[in-house]
């Protein structure tokens, strides 16, 4: 299967590129949540954040920080950074990407559906992660 983001990175598909360095590229999302909604991607193909070697991750995060500074200086100091990992989490393109979604005050915000964490749920999760219950 062909990766759309790899094609953008290789300049095989057009995109509105706003940032590029050796390891990182950022471009406008074609289905934006808000004006200036950007996607920041590593230039090497990785599906998940956990796959990137540490040194490459450091360089990618430096590029991500450079994009965030551009957003803060030129669009809005208020934004969401969203990463969907896996199909159940909403990842549509199987190339790691960070959404930078500027907020201006006139758009809907994300609504997190939450519940009160029970001691039993905490214990179950902690056990799965190999940790002890902390009270």
Residue with tokens 């909403």: 90
Q: Note whether 100 and 72 are within 8 A (CB).
A: no
Look at residues 71, 12, 64 and name the one whose alpha carbon lies nearest to residue 42: 64
* In the chain, beta strands by DSSP E: 17-20, 24-28, 38-42, 79-82, 98-102
Query: Kind of pairing, strands 79-82 and 98-102?
Result: antiparallel
Catalytic positions, please? Answer: 97
What sign for the dihedral angle of Cα 68, 73, 76, 78? positive
Which tokens hold the place of 85? 């990992």
């Amino acid at each position: 299967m062909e990766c759309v983001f790899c094609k953008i990175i290789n300049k095989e598909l057009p995109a509105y590129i706003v940032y590029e360095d050796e390891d990182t590229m950022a471009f406008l999302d074609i289905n934006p949540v808000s004006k200036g909604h950007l996607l920041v991607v590593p230039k090497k193909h990785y599906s998940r954040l956990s796959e990137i070697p540490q040194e490459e991750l450091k360089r990618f995060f430096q590029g991500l920080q450079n994009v965030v500074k551009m957003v803060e200086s030129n669009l809005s100091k208020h934004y969401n950074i969203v990463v969907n990992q896996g199909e159940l989490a909403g990842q549509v393109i199987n190339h790691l990407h960070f959404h930078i979604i500027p907020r201006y005050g006139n758009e809907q915000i994300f609504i997190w559906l939450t519940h009160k964490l029970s001691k039993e749920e905490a214990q179950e999760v902690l056990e799965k992660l190999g940790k002890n219950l902390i009270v």
